[in-house]
Structure 1
């Protein structure tokens, strides 16, 4: 595949951590996630890179410059680049105490510095720093107006810090984060931030649950009596939601969802990531990715130069099976074939 075929295809490494640990299965090592990504191949096409979570036990955000160089050499040695980064903001909170909000901003600063180092070393040509509110929807619901203001204030501070290192922040739309738990609350939060370097990170699985109104029934898009056999109604719902969120979208995850919430271990009440080949998947991955990757007139948005597969909370036996990653790569390739472009 020509090097200037876009968007680049990335795999996420944090599914080796999310939903794993003492109350679930063991964490899958960073090296294993890299090896499975690098080994995946479909008709001569391979993954172009990885998106990484900047948290233990995969990454030490406080590693030395020499450590960063070794990380770059390791990933570059596998012919992979680095794209978007996940800031470990959960040691703080966007709507917590002053100390919690300060810690949130501090983690964004550290992630932005880390991202700048990767760019200077030439391995990170594009990508954002991902954040969420690190707050529960039920806590947000105690005072929606003021809590949205508080989250927006924290996000503004984080944006200003990130801008010092030429980074953009993308807020992850997921039903488990307060102020981000429905498509409408997400837009309200983004509008309140009012900074040029913030946008939306759309995951096809997480945003799918916006349609069903989990954690925010009044913002449900699909009818309460919706039947999964009604593909036309589903497409209308997707069109409505993506039309509202697409202008904000600066980072994109290809994923599948079976229409249910799911959690593993301490990571609960979130979009159920399904395998690309899951017969219970409700999304037509290739077709439905187009609602995010194309304007309503059909023209490509070209809003980002790589897309990523995010599939969390699968059993370790599935995630260490190389065929899993070949199937995922095949799904990514089909998305690019349908919605990609070539630059001479």
Structure 2
């Protein structure tokens, strides 16, 4: 019986950029990250692809066709594919708040359009068989809390406009479930806003490290699921919490990040505090990666959804020293393989 070959296993390039910068560590260039991804191997199994950060220093959002062709060739030369893209919708890199002024919101939509153009081009080049464009609200929870009702209306309207633009390029947008983004920092609020957007090409990006903190209500105490005195050794209660969370968000999930979290928050550089990404073998990790991934990859009856053609590892804000070690990526790949063995399937290609 052939081993599972779906979902495809991708690494992420943005850990080389997110949390890096002048007030932290230097960014890691895209060539190095592609090499680290391609070189990882566990029992003859390798990564199938890489998800890209569509912004400098990795990939200029205004890159022309020649630059995109060179990127596609570079990835293909390593026997990899390109998957999901992160749209640079934040003000420091040309975007704006999704609940900001009309000008800011227009900048947000413009950045989404540019990312979708890149995504479409990569599909045409045959290097991108699956993937979405990832977005967030580009604003912090404290600013959002000044007027939640009105701010949610603005975020929803901006997302609608972005979805309409994305549809012109055959793209879907995945709103990242991360507690550092206003209007997306609580699981109920996230679902309500996705419903309000009311577009067929809007969805949710679940990251196991980020969504774990939804259970704790870290930035949205009124949406906490686990009890205040929760003991991490109480696996039964944790499992029930994950079941409640994923029952609400799994139907929306169109992009999925495998990750580990130790139950704390962390931020570095200009990136606000959010779920701490831990190494796959971190002894303080609170998740059983292979088991808990199943809450997202299987339905309430335990059946595979097969909605996700690829899954991605996210290790944002790992120190550069850790990221440069081949063992780091071999351990991560091993965790990804375990997820696929438990929740994957086989297709003739």
What is the TM-score with the length of structure 1 in the denominator? 0.99
Cα distance in structure 1, aligned partners of 2:220 and 2:73: 45
Q: Determine helix, strand or coil for the equivalent of 1:119.
A: helix
CA contact (8 A) 2:120 2:169 kept: yes
CA contact (8 A) 2:4 2:340 kept: no
Q: Match of 1:27? A: 27
In the alignment, does 2:342 pair up with 1:338?
A: yes
**Structure 1 residues 134-143 or 6-15, which shifts more?**
134-143
In the alignment, does 2:288 pair up with 1:284?
A: yes
Q: Determine helix, strand or coil for the equivalent of 1:267.
A: coil
Q: Match of 2:265? A: 261
Cα distance in structure 2, aligned partners of 1:206 and 1:116: 28
Q: Tell me: CA distance 1:4–1:299, structure 2 relative to 1, closer, same or farther (3 Å).
A: closer
User: Mapping of 1:130-209 within 5 angstroms?
Assistant: 130-209=134-213
Q: Match of 1:81? A: 81
Q: Match of 1:215? A: 219
Q: 1:294 aligns with which of 294, 298, 302?
A: 298
Q: Match of 1:6? A: 6
Q: Match of 1:327? A: 331
Q: Tell me: CA distance 1:171–1:20, structure 2 relative to 1, closer, same or farther (3 Å).
A: same
Q: Spell out, residue by residue over 1:288-331, the C-alpha distance to the aligned partner (whole angstroms, 9 max, x if none).
A: 00000000101011111000000011111100000100000000
In the alignment, does 2:65 pair up with 1:61?
A: no
CA contact (8 A) 2:3 2:341 kept: no
Cα distance in structure 1, aligned partners of 2:4 and 2:327: 27
Q: Match of 1:94? A: 98
CA contact (8 A) 2:116 2:171 kept: yes
Aligned-pair CA distance for 1:268: 2.1
Q: Match of 1:313? A: 317
Q: Tell me: CA distance 1:2–1:15, structure 2 relative to 1, closer, same or farther (3 Å).
A: farther
Q: Determine helix, strand or coil for the equivalent of 1:264.
A: coil
Pairwise CA RMSD of aligned residues?
Answer: 1.1
Structure number having the greater strand percentage: 1
**Structure 1 residues 333-342 or 3-12, which shifts more?**
3-12
Cα distance in structure 1, aligned partners of 2:205 and 2:318: 22
Q: Spell out, residue by residue over 1:45-88, the C-alpha distance to the aligned partner (whole angstroms, 9 max, x if none).
A: 00000000101111111111111111111000000000000000
Cα distance in structure 2, aligned partners of 1:43 and 1:185: 43
What is the TM-score with the length of structure 2 in the denominator? 0.97
Cα distance in structure 2, aligned partners of 1:209 and 1:42: 30
User: Structure 2, unaligned stretches of length 5 or more?
Assistant: none
Aligned-pair CA distance for 1:231: 0.7
Q: Determine helix, strand or coil for the equivalent of 1:281.
A: coil
Q: Determine helix, strand or coil for the equivalent of 1:88.
A: coil
Q: Spell out, residue by residue over 1:107-130, the C-alpha distance to the aligned partner (whole angstroms, 9 max, x if none).
A: 000000010000000000010000
Cα distance in structure 2, aligned partners of 1:107 and 1:57: 16
In the alignment, does 2:143 pair up with 1:127?
A: no
CA contact (8 A) 2:225 2:241 kept: yes
Q: Spell out, residue by residue over 1:146-184, the C-alpha distance to the aligned partner (whole angstroms, 9 max, x if none).
A: 111110000000000000000000000000000000101
User: Structure 1, unaligned stretches of length 5 or more?
Assistant: none
Cα distance in structure 1, aligned partners of 2:280 and 2:251: 26
Cα distance in structure 1, aligned partners of 2:182 and 2:2: 42
Q: Match of 2:36? A: 36
Cα distance in structure 1, aligned partners of 2:8 and 2:222: 37
In the alignment, does 2:256 pair up with 1:249?
A: no
